[in-house]
Amino acid sequence: MKKILVTGGLGFIGSHTVVELQNEGFEVLIIDDLSNSTIEVLDKITSITTIKPSYFNIDLKDKVAVQKFFKENKVAGVIHFAASKAVGESVERPLEYYENNIGSLVYLLKEMKANLVNNFIFSSSCTVYGQADELPITENASVKPAESPYGNTKKIGEEIIKDTTKVSEITAIALRYFNPIGAHKSAKIGELPIGVPQNLIPFVTQTAAGIRKELSVFGSDYPTSDGTAVRDYLHVVDLAKAHIVALRRLLSNNNKTSFEVFNIGTGRGNSVLEIIKSFEKVTGKKLNYKLVDRREGDITAAYADTTLANNELGWKAELTLDEALLSAWNWQQTL
């Protein structure tokens, strides 16, 4: 049984990926410092799969601890989720974001290199495209200057990995996620936003649950069909599965180059108002919302061209928007 290290394995996307890895027969080791997750997630994962992953409470900025981990644990690959991800916070505290997201990536790659761990999957983001000139967005679209330190850590992170693969045996795949939403069908794991949610779907579910009075729809004058911004909302379980196929590609040396990039989305764009309508339809809940000004830094529209992931990885999103929204609501009701 192959051992895989999942950093940030107790977080939103990490925990769903751990479940899928275990379902596929991998032995999972999790590193998570609990900075944006809770230890209860470990038991929730165990109750879904009946297998308890090994857990290490390590801050990846702790170089010595990372060294020790790799000396003591022989893993076949690393899926790296651990990173800070709040866009606004990154603007306020850029150095913390660079230290946390870049520092930890560098230590991780150094130890992988030293210990001959050669397979690396990186959590990247469609944020690297900024407002793309053409839709849908292919992997050939140009990478734009980042709008925030958070976005910059994804862009720089990809560059660091690419440079590393040129001078080592490490092979890597960066998955550029569009907008991951939803929760596991068991409603045992899902997204746990701290404080007021910044992302749309947690704000929607909290409004429906009565925790928030009203959802603000940021911008109704975008050049889109109904004036609200368009994104590619992807079920987190589909996204988790993309990591497994990417990992298998590296483990079986099926990658074409030592550093590959894939868009992971559904290929469909939905506006904020369409999301609200679909949510109301699948849950039967009426949402309080009002149209307000645009949010600074937001783009008009982004959705993926997924041809490369479809053809090369043999992956495509299978779950529907309605299923994703319903699963997010089921999860909210357990909180």
Give me the torsion for CA of 166, 157, 30, 184, rounded to 10°: -120
Element (H, E) at 274: helix 272-283
Q: Is 298 in the site for ligand UD1 (CB under 6 A)?
A: yes
Of the residues 150, 177, 222, 303, which is catalytic? Answer: 150
Q: Is 151 in the site for ligand UD1 (CB under 6 A)?
A: yes
Q: Is 269 in the site for ligand UD1 (CB under 6 A)?
A: no
Q: Could you tell me if 154 and 125 are in contact, meaning their C-beta atoms sit under 8 angstroms apart? A: yes
* Max CA separation in the chain (angstroms): 56
**CA 8 to mean position of chain CA atoms:** 10
Q: Is 125 in the site for ligand UD1 (CB under 6 A)?
A: yes
Please say if 222 is a catalytic residue. Answer: no
Give me the torsion for CA of 162, 103, 8, 296, rounded to 10°: -90
Tell me the three state secondary structure of residue 260.
strand
Q: Is 55 in the site for ligand UD1 (CB under 6 A)?
A: no
Q: Which is nearer to ligand UD1, 9 or 269 (CB)?
A: 269
For residue 335, count other CB atoms closer than 10 A to its CB. 13
Q: How far is the CB of 78 from ligand UD1 (least distance, A)?
A: 21
Stretch that binds ligand UD1, among 197-205, 245-253, 279-287, 319-327 (CB under 6 A): 197-205
Q: Is 216 in the site for ligand UD1 (CB under 6 A)?
A: yes
- How far apart, in whole angstroms, are the C-alpha atoms of residue 133 and residue 280? 32
Give the single-character DSSP code of 138.
Answer: P
Q: Which of 22, 153, 179, 278 binds ligand UD1 (CB under 6 A)?
A: 179
Element (H, E) at 31: strand 27-31
Q: How far is the CB of 191 from ligand UD1 (least distance, A)?
A: 9
Q: How far is the CB of 154 from ligand UD1 (least distance, A)?
A: 7
CA geometry: angle 106, 256, 137, nearest 5 deg: 80
Question: What tokens were used for 316?
Answer: 């495509």
Stretch that binds ligand UD1, among 22-30, 112-120, 187-195, 214-222 (CB under 6 A): 214-222
Q: Is 301 in the site for ligand UD1 (CB under 6 A)?
A: no
Q: How far is the CB of 229 from ligand UD1 (least distance, A)?
A: 3
Q: How far is the CB of 126 from ligand UD1 (least distance, A)?
A: 7
Q: Which of 127, 165, 283, 306 binds ligand UD1 (CB under 6 A)?
A: 127
Question: What tokens were used for 177?
Answer: 């996620």
Count of residues that interact with ligand UD1, criterion CB under 6 A: 20
Q: How far is the CB of 23 from ligand UD1 (least distance, A)?
A: 25
Q: Which of 67, 168, 198, 320 binds ligand UD1 (CB under 6 A)?
A: 198
For residue 6, count other CB atoms closer than 10 A to its CB. 29
For residue 124, count other CB atoms closer than 10 A to its CB. 22
Q: Look at the alpha carbons of 199, 328, 9, 237 in this order and tell me if their dihedral is positive or negative.
A: negative
Q: Which is nearer to ligand UD1, 29 or 229 (CB)?
A: 229
* Residues in contact with ligand UD1 by the rule CB under 6 A: 85, 87, 125, 127, 151, 179, 198-200, 203, 215-218, 229, 231, 272, 295, 297-298
User: Would you name the residues annotated as active-site residues?
Assistant: 150
